[in-house]
């Protein structure tokens, strides 16, 4: 059984075509293949993420400093062959001299467990003191969960439009 745009086709069927029609169809497939390459897919995802996801992440962030370094990258090293990386991707050395922006974002997103430091006197440990804990203040994951389905639908729509134009 074959499905074509919501319609079911059952039974045997034959498609007859001449050589000219076949060559035209083959050229159409080659045009589609060339128009939907890795660069197009990455750029489309990044463009939609900038429009949909990034503003939501910035809106949910409680830190003005972190808001400045939220963005999208299509770097193959960071995002793979076909993907994009969305979130805290930059680091401003002036703004974050000792603790990088991605590290700070991780602490904000996930929080920290209570930590202790040893108290020493004359080289001997005499006790422990709590350095406290930090509750999580999630801003990346809620924005992702809220906008990811819309982002994927929009990318799919743009790819299908590109296929129809090149066909």
Express each pLDDT in 21-67 by its tens digit.
777 777 777 777 777 777 888 888 888 888 888 899 999 888 888 88
Long-range Cβ pairs for the range 138-142 (8 Å, 24+):
138/60, 138/109, 139/57, 139/60, 139/61, 139/62, 139/66, 139/108, 139/109, 140/57, 140/87, 140/88, 140/105, 140/109, 141/109, 142/60
Q: Is the pLDDT of residue 73 over 60?
A: yes
Using CB atoms within 10 Å of the CB of residue 124, give its burial: 0 to 12 exposed, 13 to 18 middle, 19+ buried. exposed
Looking only at the bridges linking them, the beta strands covering 2-4 and 85-88 are: unpaired
Indicate the angle between helix axes 38-60 and 140-166, nearest 10 degrees: 150
Q: Give the separation between CA 25 and CA 29, rounded to whole angstroms.
A: 6
The pLDDT value recorded for residue 122 is 79
87 close to 105: Cβ distance less than 8 angstroms? yes
pLDDT at 83 > cutoff 80: no
Domain assignments of the chain as residue spans, ordered by start: 17-166
Residues across the chain: 167
Choose between 60 and 75: higher pLDDT.
60
Q: Is the pLDDT of residue 2 over 70?
A: no
């Amino acid at each position: 059984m074959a499905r074509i745009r919501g319609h079911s086709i059952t039974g045997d069927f034959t498609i007859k075509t001449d050589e000219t029609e076949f060559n035209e169809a083959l050229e159409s497939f080659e045009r589609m293949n060339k128009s939907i390459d890795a660069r197009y897919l990455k750029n489309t995802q990044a463009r939609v993420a900038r429009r949909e996801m990034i503003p939501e992440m910035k809106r949910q962030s409680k830190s003005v400093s972190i808001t400045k370094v939220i963005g999208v990258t299509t770097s193959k090293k960071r995002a793979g062959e076909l993907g994009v990386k969305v979130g805290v991707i930059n680091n401003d050395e002036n703004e974050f001299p000792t603790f990088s922006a991605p590290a700070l974002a991780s602490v904000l997103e996930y929080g920290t467990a209570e930590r202790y430091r040893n108290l020493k006197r004359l080289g001997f440990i005499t006790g422990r003191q709590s350095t406290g804990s930090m509750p999580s203040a999630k801003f990346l994951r809620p924005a992702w969960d809220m906008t990811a389905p819309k982002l994927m639908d929009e990318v799919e729509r743009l790819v299908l439009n590109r296929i129809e134009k090149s066909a």
